[in-house]
Amino acid sequence: MNEDDDECPIRSQPRADAPADPHGTVNTTPATSVELPQVLQDILATLAVAEQDLFATDAQTSLRPKQYRKTATASINSVRARSVRSAPDGLTEDEGDLASNQAADYLTLGLLGAGGMGTVFLARQAALGRSVALKQINRSHQHDSQSQVDFLTEAVLTGKLEHPNIVPIYEVGKSPDGALFYSMKNIKGKAWSESIQSLSLDENLNILLDVCDAMAFAHAQGVIHRDLKPTNIMTGGFGEVLVLDWGLALHIGAENSVEGSFGGTPAYMAPEMVNPPFRVGRFSDIYLLGAILYGILTGKAPHPLGGSARDCVLAASRNEVAKPETSRIHAIDPSGELLGIAVRAMATDPKDRFSSVIEFQSAVREFLSHRESLLLS
C-alpha cells in the first residue's frame, strides 16, 4: 500500500506521553468489542425516522435521536405569546420604521437555514428596530411535547451561556398558534467550514483557541456541546468567532459523564458517542476539538472512510481515523507536534485524552509560542 494513501485507516489510541509520528503511524488498539451489526441496530433504534437510512445520509449531517434524555429547564407555559409574521415583499433589513407599523413583534425577512428541529429566519424585531436571527420550531414538531421540551431546553441552555464566543439569545416566545421560537443575534459572517481550507495555519489555530474559550466556559457551567465541527462555528468579518447549534447539548452539572443516546456528526464522532451505552462527558467535546485540529492538519474530517454516514459511524465505533497525507503533514506540521496533540485528544480511552479543554488549549498555545524555533530547526 502506498504510504501516501490518505484512505488508509489508523486507530487513534496513543499513550498519553507518546508523540505522534508525522508520517501518520500511531499505536493501535480496538476501540470496542461490540459487534458492529449490533452497534448499528442500537443506533437505528434511537434515530429519528427521517435519519434512519444511514446509507443515504451525508457523513457531515448532525444526527439527532428520537428524543433526548432531557428535562425542561423552563416551563413551556411560562413562555409568552409573540406575533411573528412574514414581512411585505420588498421590505429590507434596514427598514425598521416599516416594521414598527406592522402589527407584529417580529417580521421575517428571509430564510437563513433549516435543520431537523427548527428553521432559522432573518427577522426584524419591531420593538427595538433591529435585525435578529429567529429560530422557529418546525411545524412537524410544534405539537410534539418531547420536541417542544428539546427546543426550549436548547434555547435555555444557550441563553445561560453568556460568553463572547457563544451566540447570545435575546428572547424565547411562541406564536399565537403555539409554535415555539427564540430570537438571537444575527451574525453577519460565514461558517468556518467555508474558509478553513483557505486560511493559514495560524489563522485556523487562533479560531480554534477561541472555540476552546467558549467550550471551557460551557464545561465550567456543566454543559457539553456534543456536535462541535467547523460547520457549527461562525466567523464574522470583524474577527468574531461564535459556537452555534447547541441542539445536542446536555447539562451534566458536576458529573464527569452521563448516559445519553446516539447523536452527533458521524465524520467527527468519538467512539463513546457511537457505542452503547453512549456515555458522554466533557472528554467527548475534547475529542471533537482534537478532530477539528486533525481536520485543519489533514484537510478532512477524521472519519471520512467512505461516502455515507453508515461508513463513518462504523469507523467512529472503532475509532478508525484516515491516515494523513505525508506530504501535507511535512509541509504544515514537520515536527509532528500538532498532529500529536490532535491524536492524543482523539484517544480511544477518554483517560488518555487531555484532562480538560484548558489543557488541550495550552498545548496548542505552547506550539504557537515556539513555532518559529521549530521552523528554523
By annotation, the residues acting in catalysis are 227
Give me 64's grid cell: 439527532
Q: Are 158 and 107 in contact (CB under 8 A)?
A: no
Question: Are 68 and 260 spatial neighbours (Cβ–Cβ below 8 Å)?
Answer: yes
In sequence order, the 6+-apart residues with CB closer than 8 A to the CB of 31 are: 11, 13, 271, 275, 317, 318, 319, 348
Interior/surface letters 312-337, b for 16+ CB within 10 angstroms, e for the rest:
bbbbbbbbbbbbbbbeebeebbebbb
Strand partners, 81: 174
CA–CA gap between residue 159 and residue 137 (Å, rounded): 17
C-alpha cell at 93: 433589513
DSSP structure string for 112-127: EEE-SSEEEEEEEETT
Preceding peptide of 277 cis, ω within 30°: yes
3-class DSSP state of 282: helix
